[in-house]
Structure formats: C-alpha cells, structure tokens
Amino acid sequence: MRGFLFALVRAARSRSRAELQTVQRRRPSDLAQRFSHSAAAPERPSFGIAFDIDGVILRGRSPIGGAPRAIRRLYSEDGTLKIPFLFLTNGGGVPEHRRALELSQLLGVNISPTQVVHGHSPYRELVDRFENDLIVAVGKGEPAVVMSEYGFRKVLSIDEYASYFKDIDPLAPFKTWKVEQETNNYMSAKVHPSYDVYSERVKGVFVVSDPVDWGRDLQVLCDILSTGGLPGSGKGDQPPLYFAADDLEYQAAFPSERLGMGAFRIALESIFNQINDHPLKYTSYGKPNPFVFKNAATILEKLVMSMYPNSQTSKEVKDCQFSTIYMVGDNPEVDINGASKAGHPWSSVLTRTGVFRGNDNDPQFPADTVVDTVEDAINYILEKECIR
Ligand SMILES: [Mg+2]
C-alpha cells in the first residue's frame, strides 16, 4: 500500500510540474515575482503552512524528521522569513515568547512569538470577562504566568490555590517525591494579598496545559466546581471551566502515546457527574476546533502583511486571502480532522513520525497527502507551490 501511496504522490508531483509548465507558458513574469522580496512589485505568497509540534517537529525536546534542515528552507539565505508559517500546537504551559525562543534554539532559525499558537492562546480573548475575577490556572509549566501575561489580574496556579487549604488533599503526606517550587512565584499571597481565597470565590477555571498531579487536581477541581468556587462551603453553581485542548493522547518521548488533556477531561467529567446531580459544563479549545484554524489563518494573514508591508494587500484583515494553508500534523483525529472540518483553504499533510504510523492513509480521518516526515512534507509543499 505504501508503494501505491508513493505512486499517488509522484503522480501528484507530475501533475504539479505539468500545471507549472502550463502556467509558466502563460505568465512567466508573474510567477517569477510571486515570492521575491526584490521584485519591483512583490506579491504576497498565496499559501501558508501550520505545523503541529509534538510528533512532527519534536519528540520530547529532540527535533525529528529532519525538521531543522527543512524549516530553514522557509527562510531566505539572510535569515529572513520567506514562506509564512506558524506552529499550531495543542501543547503549551509557557508564554508564547518563551516557546518561540526555545524553538529558535532547537531549529536554528528566528521564530517570532506571533508564530507560536498554543492551545491556550485563545484564552486571551476572555480577559475582559474575567479580568478582575479570581481564576485558577491548571497544568504543567507556568500556567499562572501564562494567564497573567494575557492580562488576567487575579490568577493562582492550582498548586498555589491548593496550598491555602489544609488537608484538601488527604494523600499529600504520602507524596514523598520532591516538588521543585517555582522560583518566579510572583503570584504568591505575599505579593498579592489583596484578595482572600477563603472568602473570594473562584469565578473561572482554566486548564492551560497537561495537569501534573492528577489525583490532587481532580479532587481540588471537583471542590471548586461543585461548591460555586469555594471549597468546603457546600454545593453551589459551577463556575465556567475551560480546557486548552482535548487530545486524548499525544506523542512524547516515550515510544507509545501518552494520555493528554482530553483524558484528564474524561476523568474529571466522569467523577464530577457521579458526585453531582447535574453534568459538568465546559468549553474546549485546541485542534480540531474549527475556531482554532480560523484564528491561525488570521494570524498568518497578519504575518504576511508584516513580511510584505508595501504589498497591495489591504491593511485590515477581512477575509483569508490564501489559496491554500497546509496543516502538517501527526494526529489524524486532531490535525487532519481539524483541517478537514475547517474547509477551504486548509489542506492536510499527515506525517508518520508521531501518533499515525500507518502505511496507507488514516481510514477515519484521511489526509489530503501522507508523507514520512516533516522534511518530506515541506519538500512536497514547496514543489507543489513551485518554490525552489
Ligand atoms: Mg502532534
């Protein structure tokens, strides 16, 4: 089947070459100027690319699939961005500017913070609603720092919040492992004593990244969500609950998939529904939510405008002007399904370096193209778009 697939890819490439020859015969100067900064009237690129990170670009913290070499092809020799692209990941837990720096170091190119879209990036849009409310941020990394940088003013990480309530986690004395405390613990009560967690109700819970201490977090979240935002105070209305993503599994450094935020959501929902007489209400962001793809298209449009400030393009982003945006991902249910649901101009490219390892295409969520690695994906896209 793999041979059959390669034959299909070869056929598509031949088609692209044939199409290119036809177009070149018609409009040679137009194509020559299409992606050149130095041309007299540079035209904006007609395509963009969104890359998933885990299982496509990195496994754990190690680049995979020829990612550094391949990503460098999207830059000019002087290091400036040539092809508009961004990273569209359901992961996160650190501010976007810090992830951009980490990716720049790992891949050897200059990645700007605007090119990093985390699962939790859309939380920015909720600042007005919760700006002065006490909220709890859950997950690995620095979830409270992420939310504070978005503009939320009264944020506590679940670690900090739980630490105020003696005996809230009855298993804590049995947790003998050493927990490294955040050195940048600037949201502590000492610095922000202006609110009292024993009387002020939590108005929103944001799962920013994969929870670390599932047992404690399930307990504390059930407390917050069942009591109207004040553990130990009796039943109350559930405060809003948000998840940055809903991935059941994802590819990390271990050979087989790991349980993701979606698995935690299932656990929390199942337990909450058993101990309450009404179902848990929540909102999930992240791929495959079509909103995420629409948001990514808008960000790519803005990126193109910054790359081509003197182009004819309107200064305002009204509609998506790309003829194609490629989603390169390893997870059929998340990346491919999301691109498919988003529709035009999204086109999906599935790699075999992560969750998907099949010889052929995924039967449930088939991609438009299947390749081995991200390097193959970039080669395919650049050839299809007639970029050398
Ligand atoms: Mg992935």
How confident is the model over 9-44, as pLDDT tens digits?
444 444 444 433 433 333 433 333 444 444 444 567
Q: Where are the domains of the chain?
A: 2-49+75-85+300-384, 121-284
**Strand, helix or coil at 325?**
strand
214-226 vs 261-275: helix crossing angle, rounded to 10: 50
- Ligand 1 centre and the CA of 351: distance in Å? 10
* Residue 178: per-residue pLDDT: 67
* Residue 188: per-residue pLDDT: 46
- Ligand 1 centre and the CA of 286: distance in Å? 12
- Ligand 1 centre and the CA of 336: distance in Å? 11
- Ligand 1 centre and the CA of 114: distance in Å? 20
- Ligand 1 centre and the CA of 335: distance in Å? 8
- Ligand 1 centre and the CA of 53: distance in Å? 6
Given a cut of 70, the residues of the chain with pLDDT beneath it are: 1-43, 178-194, 311-320
- Ligand 1 centre and the CA of 59: distance in Å? 9
- Ligand 1 centre and the CA of 51: distance in Å? 9
Q: Which of 126, 158, 152 is nearest to 139 (CA)?
A: 158
- Ligand 1 centre and the CA of 88: distance in Å? 10
* Residue 308: per-residue pLDDT: 82
* Residue 45: per-residue pLDDT: 86
Element (DSSP H or E) covering residue 221? helix 214-226
d(CA 171, CA 82): 53
- Ligand 1 centre and the CA of 290: distance in Å? 17
- Ligand 1 centre and the CA of 369: distance in Å? 16
- Ligand 1 centre and the CA of 271: distance in Å? 28
- Ligand 1 centre and the CA of 140: distance in Å? 17
Give the chain's length: 388
d(CA 245, CA 25): 47
Superfamily of domain 121-284: HAD superfamily/HAD-like (3.40.50.1000)
* Residue 251: per-residue pLDDT: 83
Is the bond preceding 345 in cis, omega lying within 30 degrees of 0? Answer: yes
- Ligand 1 centre and the CA of 249: distance in Å? 9
Cβ-based neighbours of 373, under 8 Å, separated by 6 or more: 64, 65, 66, 70, 351, 352, 353
- Ligand 1 centre and the CA of 186: distance in Å? 32
- Ligand 1 centre and the CA of 52: distance in Å? 6
- Ligand 1 centre and the CA of 287: distance in Å? 10
374-384 vs 2-26: helix crossing angle, rounded to 10: 30
* Residue 27: per-residue pLDDT: 40
